[in-house]
Amino acid sequence: MQILDGKLVSEAIKAQLAAQVAELKAAGKKVPHLAAILVGNNPASETYVASKVKSCAECGYNSTLFRFDAQISEKHLLDQIILLNENPDIDGILVQLPLPKHISEELVINTIDPSKDVDGFHPMNVGKMVSGLPAFIPATPYGIMLMLEHYNIPTKGKHAVVIGRSHIVGTPMSILLSRNTNPGNCTVTLTHSQTHNLAEICKQADIIIAAIGKPDFVTADMVKEGAVIVDVGINRVEDASKKSGFRLKGDVKFDEVAPKCSYISPVPGGVGPMTIAALLKNTYHAAIGLKGSMN
67 carries a ligand binding annotation? no
Orientation of helix 6-26 relative to helix 271-287, angle to 10°: 20
235-238 and 227-231: which strand pairing?
A: unpaired
What is the amino acid identity at position 77?
Answer: L
Annotate 53-114 with DSSP letters as a single string.
HHHHHHTT-EEEEEEE-TT--HHHHHHHHHHHHH-TT--EEEEPSP--TTS-HHHHHHHS-G
Q: For residue 96, indicate whether it is catalytic.
A: yes
175 carries a ligand binding annotation? no
Beta strand extents in 115-256 (DSSP E only): 159-163, 187-191, 207-210, 227-231, 235-238, 246-249
Tell me which of 52, 128, 158, 253 is the catalytic residue: 52
164 carries a ligand binding annotation? yes
Give 75's contacts (C-beta < 8 A, 6+ positions apart): none
- CB neighbourhood size of 250 (10 A): 27
Beta strand extents in the chain (DSSP E only): 2-3, 33-39, 62-68, 92-95, 159-163, 187-191, 207-210, 227-231, 235-238, 246-249, 261-264
Tell me which of 117, 119, 231, 251 is the catalytic residue: 119
Q: For residue 2, indicate whether it is catalytic.
A: no
Tell me which of 5, 14, 96, 251 is the catalytic residue: 96
Is omega for the bond preceding 268 within 30 degrees of 0, making it cis?
Answer: yes
Rounded-to-integer distance, Cα 291 and Cα 127, Å: 13
What 3-state DSSP class applies to 3?
A: strand
Annotated active-site positions, please? 52, 96, 119
Please enumerate, by residue number, every residue annotated as part of a binding site for NADP(+): 164-166, 234
Please enumerate, by residue number, every residue annotated as part of a binding site: 164-166, 234
